[in-house]
């Protein structure tokens, strides 16, 4: 049993279930599975007897269909699912059911797609994939957990496994059976817009927490009713690309890292970036997503040595490779040549959201012309079918309907309590002069900053929409301002201003500042200085002559020297998600901070750009009360 350092669990009952302070209890089945340390026990190749029997019956078109993944809102009409024998459908960050973004609409969309497979000769069910990277984050009302950078600061694999177990439950509530997570990137340059999708700069910590996430999603048995196929991504060295810095039209530096080129020798590649995949394969991950990026100038999505020789032969990966979104297009300007290079390099399924018809036709031509050998097609389809058999999708008595009883717990208090605990454990206390923290619950408090009442900033990217959005568009969440108001005694007084004005008369100021939401390359940033507006807000509260507590909401360490100097206390809260109450728990001492930095915190942009020097805070730093 994994040691769980979770303040909210008052006991582990005799039956192994864990009880929350609220007295509610996650279902025993989930928790017992979640807390079982063993990896997925049955090797995927053990299904080859059943798989090969099916493979022998399949036509070339049925095989190519299994290798083709289309995006729901690009499928002209759902009949294309059976017309092209599609093996999979995805909903990317901005792809939602036409009927809306709630639980019912998502569930109906899933069931409508699965129903189409019954019109095919072999009736092979779909894998339906979404990016559940911090909860079932596309769906209104889902619990949004802290992004990986915050979870890395918990150093708690038991917590991460439980988070992904609960996430799997909320995914299955919509019927969906595949998540393109966990991201097991090892970010080396925090100017990268996907830094927050990484647990840490340290490969060993990423491997540990990545394995926990895979166990959480896939459970002990990939065919379990609450299990979801995991996808370790993005293979390989997506977080190790070299920044390309140019000068923009406004004269400011522009840094491009996302989908760039990782320029390093093989020893470095293996030491830093391969290690989490060794762990993921050991944990029995069923799918892996090659990266858009390149290694020494060659696109990973077409890199035979990486995809086949290392991952499949050397590491013995028995699942399948799913390309990133239109990543195959980047391999060669001639799409047909690009397809040939990628499939022959070892890609097994193609994420071709709006080009699925073209992909299907061209790959069929390539096979008939002998440019892609049938053995390669059979290997790809075998890998996909292994996973479908392991998931129980091929069982004659399997249901293609969602289990709507799971709606009862979707977004419910038990799940929110877990997310609150994750927030508590992810917050890192960087400064606390004069024991400014914890704050008395009877104090007069002035809250300020554009992040104080802003669930969008709390959640960051990959929340309801791909890029996320500032404001309070995430139903069911608790902003930090609301959490403070929930926590103080009736005798206390809490005032608020976005710009920090009006703090006079308060006994302490709490200023919540940080980054606006972003995802992927749109988050690449050459200058990580704090926004001037945030600095002014801190100054305004400081001018009131009261102690100042700064709470930073960010997807990475920022250059904070100026406001750190002004602050009496400073908390790094990262991107905590919907449960802002966890931040208040730390502010008022209901939880003694335990978070430790999972990234080195630079003192200047020079250091971010690689120049040596003493960092502002070392990797692993974190104070407590
Ligand atoms: C995106 C991301 C990848 C995601 C995929 C599907 O571009 O690179 O992480 O899983 O497309 O949304």
| 2 has a pLDDT exceeding 70 | no
pLDDT digits (tens, 9 = 90+) for 568-618: 999 999 999 999 999 999 999 999 999 999 999 999 999 999 899 999 999
Alpha-carbon span 598 to 556, nearest angstrom: 10
CATH topology classification for 62-407: TIM Barrel (3.20.20)
Torsion of CA 124, 404, 223, 142, to 10 degrees: 110
Residue whose C-alpha is closest to residue 196's, from 242, 151, 241, 232: 151
Residue whose C-alpha is closest to residue 2's, from 136, 144, 155, 132: 155
DSSP H or E run through 253: strand 253-256
Average model confidence (pLDDT) for the chain?
94
Handedness of CA 326, 332, 333, 337 (dihedral sign): negative
Which of 184, 322, 325, 522 has the most ligand 1 atoms within 8 A of CB, as the residue to mutate? 325
Q: Which atom of ligand 1 is nearest to the CA of 181?
A: 10
Q: For 439, how many CA atoms within 13 A lie in the half-sphere containing its CB?
A: 34
The residues near 313 (Cβ < 8 Å, ≥ 6 apart) are none
Q: How confident is the model at residue 40 (pLDDT cuts 50, 70, 90)?
A: low
Average pLDDT over residues 361-381: 98
- What's the Cα-to-Cα distance from 428 to each of 51, 266, 291, 599, rounded to whole Å? 49, 34, 31, 11
Determine what percent of the chain is predicted with pLDDT higher than 90.
91
The finding on whether 93 has its CB within 6 A of some atom of ligand 1 is: yes
The closest residue, in CA terms, to atom 1 on ligand 1 is: 325
- What's the Cα-to-Cα distance from 573 to each of 46, 146, 430, 446, 469, rounded to whole Å? 44, 9, 10, 19, 18
| 22 has a pLDDT exceeding 80 | no
Q: Which two tokens stand for residue 126?
A: 């779909």
Residue with tokens 């404001």: 471
Alpha-carbon span 467 to 75, nearest angstrom: 23
Q: Where does CATH 3.20.20.300 sit in the chain? A: 62-407
| 21 has a pLDDT exceeding 60 | no
Residue 170 is classified by DSSP as H
Q: How confident is the model at residue 41 (pLDDT cuts 50, 70, 90)?
A: low
Q: Which atom of ligand 1 is nearest to the CA of 197?
A: 9
Q: Which two tokens stand for residue 315?
A: 């590491």
pLDDT digits (tens, 9 = 90+) for 292-334: 999 999 999 999 999 999 999 999 999 999 999 999 999 999 9
Residue 76 confidence (pLDDT):
84
Upstream peptide bond of 236 is cis (omega within 30 degrees of 0): yes
Alpha-carbon span 63 to 498, nearest angstrom: 57
CATH topology classification for 427-608: Rossmann fold (3.40.50)
Alpha-carbon span 190 to 370, nearest angstrom: 45
The finding on whether 197 has its CB within 6 A of some atom of ligand 1 is: no
Q: How confident is the model at residue 474 (pLDDT cuts 50, 70, 90)?
A: confident
Q: Where does CATH 3.40.50.1700 sit in the chain? A: 427-608
Alpha-carbon span 281 to 285, nearest angstrom: 6
Which of 324, 326, 352 has the most ligand 1 atoms within 8 A of CB, as the residue to mutate? 324
Q: Which two tokens stand for residue 454?
A: 């802003």
The residues near 590 (Cβ < 8 Å, ≥ 6 apart) are 487, 584
Q: Are 202 and 155 in contact (CB under 8 A)?
A: no
Residue 23 confidence (pLDDT):
37
- Angle made by CA atoms 497, 502, 508, in degrees to the nearest 5: 85
User: Where are any strands of DSSP class E within 156-252?
Assistant: 178-179, 231-235, 244-247
Largest Cα span, the chain: 80
Strands ordered across the beta sheet of 444-448: 428-432, 569-574, 548-553, 508-514, 444-448, 493-497
DSSP H stretches of helix in 239-316: 266-268, 275-282, 304
Residue 29 confidence (pLDDT):
43
Rounded to the nearest 10 degrees, the angle between the axes of helix 335-345 and helix 356-368 is 70
CA of 247 to the centre of ligand 1 (A): 28
Rounded to the nearest 10 degrees, the angle between the axes of helix 203-218 and helix 275-282 is 30
Average pLDDT over residues 545-568: 98
Task: Please state, as a whole number, how many other Cβ atoms lie within 10 Å of the Cβ of residue 37.
Answer: 13
**Is 273 in a helix, a strand, or coil?**
helix
Question: Could you say which of 62, 71, 318, 324 is catalytic?
Answer: 324
Q: Are 520 and 547 in contact (CB under 8 A)?
A: no
Residue 27 confidence (pLDDT):
42
**Is 234 in a helix, a strand, or coil?**
strand
The finding on whether 131 has its CB within 6 A of some atom of ligand 1 is: yes
Q: How confident is the model at residue 338 (pLDDT cuts 50, 70, 90)?
A: very high
Q: How confident is the model at residue 28 (pLDDT cuts 50, 70, 90)?
A: very low
CA of 322 to the centre of ligand 1 (A): 11
Q: Is 324 a catalytic residue?
A: yes
Q: What is the C-alpha R_g of the chain?
A: 24
Alpha-carbon span 31 to 496, nearest angstrom: 40
- What's the Cα-to-Cα distance from 403 to each of 87, 225, 256, 406, rounded to whole Å? 22, 9, 43, 6
Q: Are 513 and 449 in contact (CB under 8 A)?
A: yes
Provide the CA 249 distance to its chain's centre, in angstroms. Answer: 33
Residue 473 confidence (pLDDT):
82
Residue 15 confidence (pLDDT):
38
Q: Which atom of ligand 1 is nearest to the CA of 466?
A: 12
Residue 9 confidence (pLDDT):
39
Question: Could you say which of 161, 520, 524, 579 is catalytic?
Answer: 520
Phi first, then psi: give them for residue 281, nearest 5 degrees.
-65, -40
Task: Please state, as a whole number, how many other Cβ atoms lie within 10 Å of the Cβ of residue 74.
Answer: 16
Alpha-carbon span 589 to 585, nearest angstrom: 6
Burial class (CB within 10 angstroms; exposed 0-12, middle 13-18, buried 19+) of 406:
buried
The finding on whether 325 has its CB within 6 A of some atom of ligand 1 is: yes
The finding on whether 441 has its CB within 6 A of some atom of ligand 1 is: no
**Is 543 in a helix, a strand, or coil?**
coil
Alpha-carbon span 25 to 48, nearest angstrom: 39
- What's the Cα-to-Cα distance from 258 to each of 110, 193, 244, 421, rounded to whole Å? 31, 7, 10, 32
Residue whose C-alpha is closest to residue 318's, from 375, 230, 384: 384
Task: Please state, as a whole number, how many other Cβ atoms lie within 10 Å of the Cβ of residue 522.
Answer: 13
Q: Is 534 a catalytic residue?
A: no
Average pLDDT over residues 515-532: 98
The finding on whether 65 has its CB within 6 A of some atom of ligand 1 is: no
Which of 20-29, 193-202, 533-542, 610-619 has the lowest average pLDDT?
20-29
Alpha-carbon span 466 to 481, nearest angstrom: 25
| 340 has a pLDDT exceeding 60 | yes
The residues near 100 (Cβ < 8 Å, ≥ 6 apart) are none
Q: Which atom of ligand 1 is nearest to the CA of 93?
A: 12
């Amino acid at each position: 049993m994994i040691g769980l350092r979770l303040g909210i669990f008052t006991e582990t009952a005799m039956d192994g279930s864990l009880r929350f302070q609220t007295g509610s209890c996650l279902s025993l089945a989930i928790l017992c599975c979640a807390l079982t340390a063993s990896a997925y026990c049955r090797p995927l190749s053990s299904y080859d007897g059943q798989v090969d029997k099916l493979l022998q019956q399949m036509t070339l078109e049925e095989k190519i269909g299994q290798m083709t993944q289309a995006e729901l809102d690009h499928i002209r009409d759902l009949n294309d699912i059976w017309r092209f024998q599609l093996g999979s459908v995805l909903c990317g960050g901005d792809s939602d059911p036409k009927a809306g973004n709630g639980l019912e609409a998502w569930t109906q969309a899933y069931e409508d797609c699965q129903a189409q497979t019954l019109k095919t000769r072999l009736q092979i069910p779909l894998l339906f994939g979404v990016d559940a990277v911090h909860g079932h984050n596309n769906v209104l009302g889902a619990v949004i957990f802290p992004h990986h950078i915050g979870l890395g600061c918990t150093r708690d694999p038991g917590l991460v496994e439980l988070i992904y177990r609960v996430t799997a439950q909320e995914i299955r509530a919509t019927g969906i059976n595949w998540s393109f997570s966990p991201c097991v990137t090892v970010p080396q340059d925090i100017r990268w817009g996907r830094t927050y999708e990484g647990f840490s700069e340290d490969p060993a910590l990423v491997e540990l927490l990545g394995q926990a996430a895979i166990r959480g999603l896939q459970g002990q048995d990939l065919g379990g009713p609450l299990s979801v196929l995991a996808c370790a991504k993005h293979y390989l060295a997506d977080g190790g690309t070299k920044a390309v810095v140019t000068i923009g039209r406004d004269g400011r530096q522009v840094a491009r890292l996302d989908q760039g080129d990782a320029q390093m020798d093989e020893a470095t590649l293996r030491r830093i970036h391969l290690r989490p995949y060794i762990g993921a394969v050991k944990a029995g991950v069923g799918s892996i997503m090659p990266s858009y990026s390149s290694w020494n100038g060659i696109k990973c999505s077409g890199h035979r040595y990486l995809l086949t020789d290392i991952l499949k032969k050397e590491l013995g990966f028995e699942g399948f490779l799913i390309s990133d979104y239109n990543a195959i297009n980047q391999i060669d300007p001639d799409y047909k040549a690009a397809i040939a290079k990628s499939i022959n390099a070892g890609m097994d399924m193609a994420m071709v959201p709006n080009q699925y018809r073209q992909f299907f036709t061209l790959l069929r031509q390539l096979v008939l012309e002998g440019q892609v050998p049938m053995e390669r097609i059979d290997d790809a389809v075998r890998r996909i079918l292994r996973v479908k058999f392991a998931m129980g999708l091929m069982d004659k008595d399997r249901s293609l309907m969602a289990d709507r009883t799971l709606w009862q717990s979707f977004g419910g208090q038990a799940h929110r309590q877990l997310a609150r605990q994750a927030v508590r454990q992810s917050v890192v206390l960087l400064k606390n002069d004069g024991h400014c923290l914890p704050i008395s619950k009877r104090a007069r408090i002035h809250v300020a900053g554009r992040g104080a009442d802003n669930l969008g900033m709390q959640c960051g990217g990959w929340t309801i929409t791909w890029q996320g959005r500032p404001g309070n568009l995430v139903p069911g969440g608790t902003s930090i301002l609301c959490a403070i108001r929930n926590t103080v005694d009736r005798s206390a007084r809490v005032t608020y201003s976005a710009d920090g004005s009006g703090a006079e008369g308060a006994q302490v100021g709490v200023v919540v500042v940080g980054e606006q939401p972003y995802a992927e390359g749109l988050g690449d940033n050459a200058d990580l200085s704090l926004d001037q507006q945030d600095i002014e807000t801190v100054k305004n509260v400081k001018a009131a002559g009261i102690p100042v507590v700064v709470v930073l909401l960010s997807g990475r360490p920022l250059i904070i020297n100026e406001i750190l100097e002004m602050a009496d206390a400073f908390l790094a809260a990262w991107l905590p998600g919907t449960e802002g109450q966890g931040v208040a728990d730390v502010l008022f001492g209901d939880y003694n901070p335990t978070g430790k930095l999972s990234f080195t915190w630079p003192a200047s942009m020079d250091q971010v750009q690689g120049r040596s020097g003493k960092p502002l805070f070392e990797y692993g730093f974190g104070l407590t009360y």
